[in-house]
Chain A
Amino acid sequence: MGMGLLFDATRCVGCGACSSACKEQNKLPGPVEEVLTAYTWTTVQPREGLNVRRMCMHCEVPTCASVCPVAALTKTPDGPVVYDAKRCMGCRYCMMACPFEIPKYQWDRPVPIVGKCILCAGRLKEGKQTACAEACAYEATVFGKKEDLVWEARTRLRQKPGEYVNHIYGLTEAGGTSVMAISSVPFDKLGLKTKLPGEPPAMRTWQVLSNIPDFVAVWGVLLYGIHWITARRGEVAHAEAKNSGSENRS
């Protein structure tokens, strides 16, 4: 199931240490911005008296990876959805398709690439946790195996039922994500997308795409059949016209 993050909005004080650590880790230029951009992969936004982290959710079946024509975006077994900038041709379908509106583009560069959180895939390979989780002094963002994090989140919801909305954001959204969140305020009020289908959006296009081979075979035979029949009909009509003109020999 891989690794993931659990974000607890009730614990976040909004210090921004996670965003700064992310900038440093991924060598992103400029100061931390208020919204996600190609140069700010995570940011903390004040909402409803709480602070909420915005970052890539690292879907179990990522929409971005399914739509990328050159497979520049891929889900690794460890959990991160990583981006291979050398493959990307810049069609920006990932930005269009992402239900969480995460991938951002370098609109100001003549040779632009996509920017988004990659869950510190390199650090994970070395056995380390993400830079943001390491930087968090309040355990608002914790790193771990996804099943452990789900367990932890359930425990918190059970132990303090009055302090949390009874829902783990990310457990079912868009088919489930490696990054999850819990909060004392409904998630839509925090600016998170809540009207997401429970099945991964990628299934909707795959249902169509997986039928293409069958379609090509049937459509090809049908089209040739139509040609065959109409051409034969033409030949017969032609021959009959000829016959009726000359003597009938049958």
Chain B
Amino acid sequence: MNASATLDSRRFRPGFWTFVAGILFLAFLVVTVIRFSKGLGAVTNLSDKFPWGLWIGFDLLCGVGLAAGAFTLTAVVHLFNLHKFEPIVRPTILTGFLGYSFVIVALLLDLGQPWRIWHAIIYWNPHSVMFEVAWCVMLYTTVLAVEFAPVVLERFGFNAPARLIHRLITPLVILGVMLSTLHQSSLGTLYLIVPSKLHPLWYSPMLPVHFYVSAIGAGIGMVVLESYLSKRAFHRHLEMDLLEPLARGMVVALGIYGLMRMQAIHRNHAFGSILEFGYEGRMFLVEFTLGVLLPVALMSFRRLRSDPNWLVGSAFLAVLGFVMNRLNVSITGMEAASGTRYMPSAMEIIVSVGLVATGMAVFAFAVRNFSIFPGGPVGGAPDPKPGA
């Protein structure tokens, strides 16, 4: 009975969510074909007035930001030597790698001529933040791939190269943390160049630091969330003894970030635009309340931190607030100066959602077939109705 159950669950059984992911992936392919045969104008609501939309605001800014759990946790384990967090490092590195792959695929669609993406390697312009971003994407994706490689290598019995990577882990992690620090902040630096366009509720000379610190907060939120989602999907227990201290880290990161944002708004004399309660003011209030005030307030109580429901709820709010912040910087805050309103087209949304679904499907596949979580590949059948 037991043996047959294991065998049964090992076999690939497409469930409802696999089906949904498949449909979304097909829709994504269709949009890709139209985009490359008819041009960007045929699939997006982008225009000369609004040249960057959802694919930059969500796919790029959030894809990179939410991968921040990887460098945070590798630093905690390998640099601060807090080895008790080791069991949740692999899933965060996998999330980071998938996040960066997601960013690269999105970039291949968003760039006007993606077949020239390698031009950043041969034509240098060190004055360009985008040049820094391009190099960080290339190098950090490589670092994440190498950090994750032992999982794949061990699975197929290549133990010697896996041991070599393991011995080089400290310089590798330091390189990863440095690249992440540069990359997370550089996404904020991108917007330093538009002082006359970005709304004062978001513009600040400190934008690079805002982006970096908020990515650490939301990255930790993502670690909690993915632990929860894999718990639901694979009937695993939630590692509360690890997640509770992580939530404390999230409070500190988001707390510092919240204070810095307040300071920046004060310097811009922009508190008035919150009180006016206009479009930007309302969007800011939602972003800041959901993404900073609530998670910090709730997670300051040990009783709530130790309760899986409150913990996961707060992590979700932090991630949601983070996504809202990046969309507000890249879209809401830029609309007034552009003189137009931007709403992503259905096809833009299909690409973003299709890529997220594909990423989740790949994550689930990896968890079933490789030892991502402690105790080897997860054999259990997926939950019939997971919440996400």
Contacts and interface: CB of A to CB of B under 8 A. Distances in A.
Given A88-B112, A89-B113, A108-B41, A227 B127 contact: no
Contact of A89 (B38, B116, B124, B174): B116
Contact of A112 (B112, B134, B174, B196): B112
Contact of B194 (A72, A96, A107, A215): A96
Contact of B46 (A71, A107, A212, A226): A107
Contacts of B23: none
Given A112-B112, A193-B196, A96 B52 contact: yes
A89 B119 contact: yes
B143 interface: no
Interface string A52-93: 000000000001001111111000000000000001111111
Given A71-B123, A95-B48, A226-B80, A195 B196 contact: yes
Given A87-B119, A89-B116, A219-B181, A201 B125 contact: no
A223 interface: yes
B123 A107 contact: no
A37 B266 CA distance: 38
A71 B130 CA distance: 11
Interface in A111-132: 111-113
A137 interface: no
B132 to A, nearest CB: 6
A61 B113 CA distance: 26
Interface in B188-202: 189-190, 192-197
The residue in A35, A36, A197, A201 that gathers the most chain B C-beta atoms within 10 A of its C-beta is A201
Given A67-B128, A223-B178, A208 B75 contact: no
A113 B111 CA distance: 11
A89 B178 contact: no
Contacts of B41: 107-108
Secondary structure dominating the interface of B: helix
Interface residues of A, number: 58
Nearest to B189: A208
Contacts of B193: 63, 66-67, 96-97, 201-202, 204-205
Given A63-B193, A201-B194, A90 B123 contact: no
A106 interface: yes
Interface size class of B (residues with CB under 8 A): 35 or more
A187 interface: no
A209 interface: yes
A99 B205 CA distance: 17
B80 A92 contact: no
B195 A110 contact: no
Contact of A87 (B37, B123, B174): B123
A201 B193 CA distance: 5
A11 interface: no
Given A87-B119, A91-B111, A93-B130, A223 B196 contact: no
A71 B126 CA distance: 9
B229 to A, nearest CB: 30
The residue in B112, B126, B129, B177 that gathers the most chain A C-beta atoms within 10 A of its C-beta is B112
A223 B79 contact: yes
B226 to A, nearest CB: 25
A1 interface: no
Interface string B22-39: 000000000000001111
Contacts of A165: none
A60 B52 CA distance: 26
A82 to B, nearest CB: 14
A108 B39 contact: yes
A155 B161 CA distance: 76
B160 to A, nearest CB: 25
Interface of A: 35-38, 63, 66-72, 87-93, 95-97, 99, 101, 104-113, 193, 195-197, 201-202, 204-206, 208-209, 212, 215-216, 219-220, 223-224, 226-227, 230-231, 233-234
14 contacts: A37-B48, A69-B131, A87-B123, A89-B120, A91-B112, A92-B52, A201-B193, A202-B127, A205-B193, A208-B192, A220-B174, A227-B170, A227-B174, A234-B81
